[in-house]
């Protein structure tokens, strides 16, 4: 019996790209509306008229609690999905994700050290960024074998670094004061809370700026699929591209950790599903990941708020429950290859 050859994917055209992004934009708006209209309380969209009255309970729930949280969830989901897309392109590895690779662990460790040093939110962001960069640089160095990045070496190095970061965090918690311990635990819990205006503006600027950078370099990221030598032959300045992608992915992961703690697997699930359905072209994949990541975390946070209402689950628990089995599926599907 002869095997059926897979059908060729239709070529990327501006019309197809616009149609996909429009669809994902509609889905993101629907997820945002759902996050605003549902929650632990009975307040919903039917109460909008009452919410327009100053001082009403409905106004407080819809516009002072749910709206800021939904904005934060959308921005954080976009940041995590873009970070995963950047790392998967850079490492040529479908399993790359800031959580799996240990980058989020490095960012958490850097952020906690900044907290213990008495720094504020800006110091927390700077410490998380430094930790994320250090983690990825160490993992890339450990996983490079004869000039190539091995899939399993990357995963092993990421697992080892995660174990090291986890041990260091446990040590810091054991020697911290009660007040410092509370701050550390709250930071690492993986919860979404409303962000201050400057925090939301910083996160949105990073998402849009890094998204624009990665989209503009989409052709060069596509060329990395042929390996660094192949990309060089196609005229790509590989080292410059690697540095830009590394900084963008690490910055996005660090901001997500600094503002919401450890929320794993968003950067693995979202870009991989989009790559399966929409193709690997990063000119389309990057903006699609931004929109789909926002939708994914909005819905995950909605489930975290409502699944056991009035109790609330950390959203990082739900993303791990989805992402863990998905990671094993992707590992089995791509096992044995090289990045």
In a domain, 18, yes or no: no
CA dihedral (130, 133, 139, 141) positive or negative: negative
Alpha-carbon span 215 to 89, nearest angstrom: 12
Classify the phi-psi angles of 279: left when phi > 0, otherwise alpha if psi is within -120 to 50, otherwise beta. Answer: left
Domain of 326?
63-332
Higher pLDDT, 154 or 296: 296
Task: Return the CA Rg of the chain.
Answer: 20
In a domain, 235, yes or no: yes
Closest CA to 304 of 28, 39, 41: 39
How many structural domains compose the chain?
1
Look at residue 149 and give its three-state secondary structure.
strand
Stretch 100-111: mean pLDDT: 88
List the CATH number of the domain containing 241.
1.10.3470.10
The pLDDT, as a whole number, for residue 3 is: 41
CA distances to 74, 258, 270, 286 from 25, rounded to whole Å, are 12, 27, 15, 13
In a domain, 215, yes or no: yes
- Inter-residue contact 78 to 290 (CB < 8 Å): yes
pLDDT tens for residues 14-45?
777 788 899 999 999 999 999 988 877 777 77
In a domain, 298, yes or no: yes
Alpha-carbon span 212 to 215, nearest angstrom: 5
In a domain, 177, yes or no: yes
The token duo for 14 is 């501006």
In a domain, 339, yes or no: no
Stretch 3-11: mean pLDDT: 49
In a domain, 324, yes or no: yes
pLDDT tens for residues 153-201?
777 888 888 889 989 999 999 988 888 888 788 777 788 988 999 999 9
Which class for 227: exposed (0-12), middle (13-18), buried (19 or more C-beta within 10 A)? middle
DSSP summary character for residue 293: H
In a domain, 313, yes or no: yes
The pLDDT, as a whole number, for residue 208 is: 96
């Amino acid at each position: 019996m002869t095997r059926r050859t897979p059908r060729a994917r239709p070529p990327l055209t501006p019309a197809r790209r616009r149609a996909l992004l429009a669809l994902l934009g509609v889905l993101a708006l629907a997820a945002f509306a759902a996050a605003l209209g549902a929650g632990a309380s009975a307040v919903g969209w039917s109460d909008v008229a009452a919410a327009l009255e100053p001082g009403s309970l409905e106004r407080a729930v819809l516009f002072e609690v749910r709206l800021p949280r939904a904005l934060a969830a959308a921005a954080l989901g976009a940041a995590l999905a873009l970070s995963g897309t950047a790392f998967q392109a850079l490492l040529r590895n479908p399993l790359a994700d800031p959580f799996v690779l240990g980058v989020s662990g490095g960012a958490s460790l850097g952020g906690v050290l900044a907290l213990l040093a008495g720094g504020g939110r800006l110091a927390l962001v700077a410490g998380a960024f430094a930790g994320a960069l250090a983690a990825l640089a160490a993992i890339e160095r450990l996983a490079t074998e004869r000039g190539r990045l091995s899939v399993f070496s990357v995963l092993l190095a990421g697992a080892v670094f995660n174990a090291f970061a986890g041990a260091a965090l446990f040590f810091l918690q054991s020697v911290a004061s009660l007040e410092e311990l509370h701050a550390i635990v709250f930071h690492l819990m993986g919860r979404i809370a409303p962000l201050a205006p400057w925090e939301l503006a910083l996160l949105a600027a990073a998402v849009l700026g890094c998204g624009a950078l990665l989209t503009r370099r989409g052709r060069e990221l596509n060329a990395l699929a042929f390996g660094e030598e192949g990309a060089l032959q196609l005229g790509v300045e590989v080292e410059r591209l690697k540095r830009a992608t590394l900084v963008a992915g690490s910055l996005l992961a660090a901001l997500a950790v600094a503002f919401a703690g450890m929320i794993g697997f968003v950067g693995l699930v979202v870009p991989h599903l989009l790559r399966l359905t929409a193709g690997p072209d990063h000119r389309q994949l990057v903006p699609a990941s931004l929109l789909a990541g926002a939708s994914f975390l909005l819905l995950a946070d909605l489930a975290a708020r409502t699944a056991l209402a009035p109790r609330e689950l950390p959203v990082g628990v739900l993303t791990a429950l989805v992402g863990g089995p998905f990671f094993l599926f992707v590992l089995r599907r791509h096992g044995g290859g090289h990045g």
